[in-house]
Amino acid sequence: QVHLVQSGAEVKQPGASVKISCRASGYTFTSYSLHWVRQAPGQGLEWMGIINPRDGGTTYPQKFQGRVTLTRDTSTSTFYMELSSLRSEDTAVYYCGRDRSADWGQGTLVTVSS
Amino acid sequence: EIVLTQSPATLSLSPGERATLSCRASQSVTIYLAWYQKKPGQAPRLLIYDASKRATGIPARFSGSGSGTNFTLTISSLEPEDFAVYYCQQRTNLYTFGQGTKVEI
């Protein structure tokens, strides 16, 4: 059974960075790319990027280029999403999701507040 | 960037009724369009991929159709658990979501 387990909630100050993890199990880690998506309060879903676990290759939408970094650790089957220069508008629930599948993490709430 | 426009923004229906949701793309996405259901506090749930293929475990009352720039998600007979927000997503040019359609009682 596939599981994507995300790290816990974070509270950050404006200007700081946050790094969220997504630990995968139940499948071959390198076989599926992984997406990151977020949902701010009262807003829709927003795609933040995708990483290929075989070679670490990443693709980001223009909005997040330079501010989001996706990485992976093949030794622990864990993906990471780091978002820098946080502002209040980054307050959201962040989800990881396996490409071409219905498997998602449980979500991580990031609150940006002074 | 491909923009997806969903309509209507809100659909007010009763259990047992048919729901028809629309998603229009700013340029052709061929068949590479998916539909997700989103409820508060839950992860997105994949319903339909490649325009018309039901994801594993999705009831037959959910169906998708369309190609190119116009797509439809149909829920043939609404169950109480179907009241939620629905998003379309394309994967032809990067990935983008529509703004969502809320299906409410």
Backbone angles phi, psi at B14, to 5 degrees: -115, 155
Q: Rounded to an integer, what distance in angstroms lies between the CA atom of residue A82 and that of residue A84? A: 7
End-to-end CA distance of chain A: 40
Distance from CA of B80 to the nearest CA of A (A): 22
Contact between A47 and B95 using a beta-carbon 8 Å cutoff? yes
pLDDT of residue A100: 85
What tens digit of pLDDT does each residue of A36-91 get? 999 999 999 999 999 999 999 999 999 999 999 999 999 999 999 999 999 999 99
Distance from CA of B63 to the nearest CA of A (A): 16
Segments of chain B scoring below 50 in pLDDT: none
End-to-end CA distance of chain B: 34
Average pLDDT over residues A2-11: 97
Whether B14 and chain A come into contact, CB under 8 Å, resolves to no
Residue A65 vs residues A17, A50, A59, A82: alpha-carbon distances, Å: 15, 12, 9, 12
Average pLDDT over residues A6-26: 97
Q: Rounded to an integer, what distance in angstroms lies between the CA atom of residue B5 and that of residue B38? A: 17
Distance from CA of A39 to the nearest CA of B (A): 10
Q: What is the DSSP letter of A104?
A: B
Residue A8 has pLDDT above 90, yes or no: yes
Q: Assign A107 a pLDDT band (cuts: 50, 70, 90).
A: very high
Q: Tell me the average pLDDT of chain A.
A: 96
Give the residue from chain B lying closest to A95, CA to CA: B43
Contact between B87 and A106 using a beta-carbon 8 Å cutoff? no
pLDDT of residue A101: 86
Contact between A39 and B49 using a beta-carbon 8 Å cutoff? no
Residues 6 or more apart from A91 whose CB is under 8 A from it? A40, A41, A110, A111, A112, A113
pLDDT of residue A92: 98
Pick A102 or B17 by higher pLDDT.
B17
Nearest alpha-carbon partner for A94 in A84, A103, A82: A82
Dihedral Cα B46, A100, A84, B38, nearest 10 deg: 0
